Amino acid sequence: MRSSLSEAGIDYVELGGVQPNPRIELAYEGIEMVRDHQVDFILAVGGGSVIDSAKTIAAAADYDGDAWDLYNRSYHPETALPIGVILTIPAAGSEGSDSAVMNREENGIAYKRSFGAESVIPVFALLNPELTWTLPPNQTAAGIADIFTHVSERYFTNTTGTYIIDQFCEGIWRTLIRYAPIVYQDPENREAREQIMWAGTIAHNDFVGVGRDQDWASHQIEHELSALYDVAHGAGLATVLPAWMQYVYKHDLARFVRFATVVFGIENDPFDQERTALRGIYALKAFFSSLGLPTSMAELGGRDEDIDFLIENISYDSEGMLGSFVRLDPLAIREIYDLM
Amino acid sequence: MRSSLSEAGIDYVELGGVQPNPRIELAYEGIEMVRDHQVDFILAVGGGSVIDSAKTIAAAADYDGDAWDLYNRSYHPETALPIGVILTIPAAGSEGSDSAVMNREENGIAYKRSFGAESVIPVFALLNPELTWTLPPNQTAAGIADIFTHVSERYFTNTTGTYIIDQFCEGIWRTLIRYAPIVYQDPENREAREQIMWAGTIAHNDFVGVGRDQDWASHQIEHELSALYDVAHGAGLATVLPAWMQYVYKHDLARFVRFATVVFGIENDPFDQERTALRGIYALKAFFSSLGLPTSMAELGGRDEDIDFLIENISYDSEGMLGSFVRLDPLAIREIYDLM
């Protein structure tokens, strides 16, 4: 890649060292770099953490205040430097989205926060499945859980009457379920890598959000887990999502029955819709487990004594609640933790 | 709409009189108008014919030659005036596509030709389902056939390994099959109109063309029908598509079995795959018939004595053939006509 840039006569400076659960401090460094070298384009080569760091730098390079203002929502960037992406990890969908996530430590407490702005949607993204052939199984699996959840946060909401989008959601899920075991056995299977890569982009560029509410409760609960334990976001989601489902499924039993039957091919038990719905959730758990993902606090390496803190630290809305499909207060979230 | 423009202080001139199967002559008029009034933006209010006329005008306003050069592919517009759309007929998908179709008469022979260029993709399109409530049943039905075929031209090709896109295709089809009867009974059903409208855009903005070959044989065969008889494009497609399918299905029996079972819910007869495939094609014919669409030359109002001319007038490729899934020579197309 460096030689392609040089051959094309494009001057560049490099910023390495992005970690999973990316830190705002590296973005500060990047912002200085952009200013010092009058950078006019940012090429993000990597996965979500790299792209989100690029978005932070691109959005704040022109801003006099603290780049963290993006994340406490006191600054909204109407403009940003253009960003291009060479994707190496299908997971976050950041290559096609308007959002970014960043970590910051304050008084010894780790915060993970997000922002969104149209100005940071990448102007292009190159998706070459060959670049994902060497991705280790645990990262591949965590990516699949992340993609799965980007769809579920748009699917399990109170919006009705979006039949066409529902089907696109289900199509993405069936794609993951079909190709995850293949890629697990055969990491260089081009078709499988390709289909998962495309699923990752489509799942989060809001194509499946058209006309639908979104409920990011599982993501927000998870962010505290990966902030505290520095685990992969997708691993945290594999733990949170089925527990969240078990807590909320009665709110729209028909939708969870549909999820079980249409996505996991579970037979619809007409005499016991609840059992059908629960079997769908168990199938999802089994799917995550089959990829080596944790589906309990213990497997994730979480400690019961942290749960108070994890619940307290969540970024609640102005009413002190989380989510919209089912409104969750801290007590409800404790019940979700009990299900993990 | 006129009052909105006036209230917003936007000067405008109007060009009315676009017909179905739009004529290049009106586009010539529009090009003059653009030049006379230094128009810098074109707002297309209507369906495919209006949008395609706008695209022709937008692409050729700056061109010294004949606008028809777009359609005989001797001029490719790298730039064009920006176009906005207020959609009133879900059908052509032109609001999200890079292509346009236009008719021209030469020596008493009607030609219908197409062109495509990125520069003519509309910069915005407003899709308000209420604007389609008064659409008469025959136009609604023809639109549905057009949308159905935009998907099939991308689905029945020789590309394999695009599982995720296949499912998006099938999702669009199931949406049409589900909502067509509803909108037929209840033209002001918002949900049904909405879902069909969105299907129309997604079917042709190339979202379901990603990574796939395309085979536009049915469209090209049909263009001659609507050029000669001035019938609705969708009505012509309802006649051509099932006949084309009957001619080609053996080339990829498994795919037609999948179409029958997954799209029309036909039981898979494991002892007779061919019967399963054919039942899918018959189900499609029955679906079109149920909407009052013609599915035979006789119903379309076509005459057997025109068939030679219809076949001869097709825009064949450099090898004198049509299509890619199955390569069709004029004799093959005659067999397709025998199936209409």
Mean pLDDT within B31-59:
97
Q: Which residues of B touch A206 (CB under 8 A)?
A: none
Would you say the pTM of this structure is higher than 0.90?
yes
Residue with tokens 């915005």: B124
Task: Please determine, for residue A81, whether its predicted confidence score (pLDDT) is greater than 90.
Answer: yes
Give the distance from residue B264's alpha carbon to the nearest chain A alpha carbon, in angstroms: 15
Confidence of residue B111 (pLDDT cuts 50, 70, 90): confident
Q: What confidence tens digit (pLDDT) does each residue in B165-208 have?
A: 999 999 999 999 999 999 999 999 999 999 999 999 999 999 99
Q: Which residue of A has its CA nearest to B172?
A: A164
Q: What confidence tens digit (pLDDT) does each residue in B5-28 have?
A: 999 999 999 999 998 889 999 999
Q: What confidence tens digit (pLDDT) does each residue in B314-325 have?
A: 989 999 999 999
Contact A175 B163 (CB under 8 A): yes
Q: Which residue of A has its CA nearest to B178?
A: A163
Burial class (CB in 10 A: 0-12, 13-18, 19+), A324: middle
> Which among B163, B174, B191 has CB closest to A178?
B163
Q: Identity (one letter) of the amino acid at B275?
A: R
Contact A163 B178 (CB under 8 A): yes
Cα separation, A296 vs A235, in Å, equals: 10
Q: Please report the pLDDT score of residue A202 as a whole number.
A: 97
Q: Supply φ then ψ for residue A176, to 5 degrees.
A: -65, -45
Q: Which residue of A has its CA nearest to B201?
A: A164
- Spacing of C-alpha A179 from chain mean position: 19
Cα separation, A222 vs A224, in Å, equals: 5
ipTM of the complex model: 0.92
Task: Choose the mutation target among A164, A201, A258 for the interface with B, i.e. most B CBs under 10 Å.
Answer: A164
Contact B161 A210 (CB under 8 A): no
Hey, how many other C-beta atoms are within 10 angstroms of the C-beta on B189? 17
Confidence of residue A76 (pLDDT cuts 50, 70, 90): very high
- Burial call A4-31: b when 16+ CB within 10 Å, e when fewer: eeeeeeeeeeebeebebbbbbebbbebb
Give the distance from residue A168's alpha carbon to the nearest chain B alpha carbon, in angstroms: 6
**Is the backbone of residue B259 left (phi > 0), alpha (psi -120 to 50) or beta?**
alpha
Task: Please determine, for residue B236, whether its predicted confidence score (pLDDT) is greater than 90.
Answer: yes
Q: Are strands A124-127 and A109-116 parallel, antiparallel or unpaired?
A: unpaired
Mean pLDDT within B253-276:
96
Cα separation, A329 vs A320, in Å, equals: 7
Cα separation, B93 vs B43, in Å, equals: 16
User: What mean pLDDT is reported for chain B?
Assistant: 95
Which of A102-111, B178-187, B245-254, B304-313 shows the lowest mean pLDDT across its residues? Answer: A102-111
Q: Please report the pLDDT score of residue A107 as a whole number.
A: 87
Mean pLDDT within B293-314:
95
Write out the DSSP string of B224-291.
HHHHHH---HHHHHHHHHHHHHHHHGGGGHHHHHHIIIIIH-PPP-TT-HHHHHHHHHHHHHHHHHHT
Give the distance from residue A310's alpha carbon to the nearest chain B alpha carbon, in angstroms: 37
User: What mean pLDDT is reported for chain A?
Assistant: 95
Q: Which residue of B has its CA nearest to A172?
A: B164
Confidence of residue A274 (pLDDT cuts 50, 70, 90): very high
> Which among B164, B174, B202 has CB closest to A195?
B164
Contact A171 B175 (CB under 8 A): no
Residue B310: closest CA among B222, B219, B237, B245? B222
Contact B191 A161 (CB under 8 A): yes
